[in-house]
Each structure stands twice: as C-alpha cells, then as structure tokens.
C-alpha cells in the first residue's frame, strides 16, 4: 500500500484545521478505551492534553501503552497509525509551564481568537501534557494511490489473490477522477 513519506506524514499531521486523533488506552480490565482528541506534532512528538478527571489519563498512569489513529474522511484517505508508550511530560496542575503549547494545539482546530478565548476560558480546569515520540513508536502510514501510481499498491501484498478482480478493474476505477 502506498505509504506517506516522512515529509508527507508530517505535512498531514500539521494541517490546519487539524484532523481529530483517536487515542486508544487500556482500562483496568485490559479492555480498549477510545477517545477522539486534539493533538499537535512538534519536535518529533505527538502532544495531547487529557483533563484531570479523564478516564484515559487514569489508564495512562497505570499503563502507558497507546494506539493512535489520525485519518481523513476524503480521498486520498491518508492515515497515520501509531503504537507506543505515552509519556506524561507535565502533571496536572503544571499547566502554566506549557500553556503556550496548549494554545498551539487549540489554534489547529479553532480560529486564532477563538482558540485563545477557549484556552483562557478553561485555564481553571487543569490538564496533563502527554506525548508520544514517533521515533521510538511503531508508525504506519497509508493513502490511496495518486495518478500514475499502480492501484495494486492499495492493499498489502498478503491480501491479494492471483484471481482478484481488482487487479484488472482497479486501474479503470482509479482513473475516474481520483487525483
């Protein structure tokens, strides 16, 4: 399947407005817990901010393993999947140490003035600052083929059978308007 280059990956992860990131943590029973959140890519890390009473912050304290999914709902359907260990960089109540980073997170999702109003209007609700370092995590990327690329790259080779219809049909389907 076509993978994003590092430059394409980072461009996707820094687009404004930002895409929502789904974070999966493990609850006390080991069951997955999924939550959509805002994030920011800086310094080779994905930064995110759980509120002090969020369930998934409790999960991170007990078990830092996470899975992240950032994807887009339209062609070329880019996605970045990350598995690794989240670090609580700043504990709840240390918000003043990293409030500028929180402003940058909010500014990816809201107009500049609205983002500042949101941050200033919620600064009495402490958060932790967490991050996952991409270099030490398992990162997978994917997108639909673009014009001129072979459509057989859409799936990993293990999915293809010798008689798959898509081998002959896909180029015609792909050439009908996907750039």
Residue 1 lies in a domain: no
Q: What is the largest CA-CA distance in the chain?
A: 61
Q: Which of 23, 18, 13 is nearest to 86 (CA)?
A: 23
Q: Give mean pLDDT, residues 47-73.
A: 97
User: What residues contact 9, with CB distance under 8 A and at least 6 apart?
Assistant: 80, 139, 141
8 A C-beta contact, residue 22 and residue 34: yes
Same domain, 123 and 162: no
Same domain, 140 and 168: no
Total domains in the chain come to 2
Residue 100 lies in a domain: yes
Q: What is residue 109's predicted lDDT score, i.e. its pLDDT? A: 97
**In angstroms, how far is the first alpha carbon of the chain from the final one?**
16
Same domain, 70 and 104: yes
Q: Which of 165, 176, 3, 154 is nearest to 80 (CA)?
A: 3
Same domain, 12 and 68: yes
Same domain, 118 and 54: yes
Residue 102 lies in a domain: yes
pLDDT in tens, 69-107: 999 999 889 999 999 999 999 999 998 889 999 999 999
Same domain, 95 and 159: no
Q: How confident is the model at residue 172 (pLDDT cuts 50, 70, 90)?
A: very low
Q: What is residue 175's predicted lDDT score, i.e. its pLDDT? A: 42
Same domain, 155 and 129: no
Same domain, 92 and 105: yes
Same domain, 119 and 38: yes
Q: Give mean pLDDT, residues 120-136.
A: 95
Domain containing 54 equals: 6-144
Same domain, 102 and 165: no
pTM of the model: 0.86
Same domain, 93 and 151: no
CATH of the domain at 121: 2.30.110.10
């Amino acid at each position: 399947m076509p993978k994003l280059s590092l430059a394409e990956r980072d461009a996707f992860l820094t687009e404004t407005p930002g895409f929502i990131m789904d974070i999966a943590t493990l609850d006390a029973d080991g069951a997955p817990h999924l939550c959509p959140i805002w994030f920011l890519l800086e310094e080779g890390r994905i930064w995110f901010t759980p509120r002090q009473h969020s369930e998934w912050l409790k999960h991170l304290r007990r078990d830092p393993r996470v899975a992240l999914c950032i994807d887009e709902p339209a062609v070329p359907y880019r996605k970045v999947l990350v598995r690794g260990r989240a670090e609580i960089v700043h504990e709840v109540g240390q918000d003043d140490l990293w409030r500028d980073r929180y402003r940058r997170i909010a500014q990816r999702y809201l107009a500049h003035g609205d983002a500042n109003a949101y941050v200033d209007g919620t600064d009495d609700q402490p958060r932790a600052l967490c991050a996952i370092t991409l270099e030490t995590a398992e990162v997978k990327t994917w997108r639909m083929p673009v014009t001129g690329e072979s459509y057989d790259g859409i799936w990993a080779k293990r999915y293809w059978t010798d008689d798959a219809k898509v081998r002959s049909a896909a180029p015609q389907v792909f050439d009908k308007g996907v750039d």
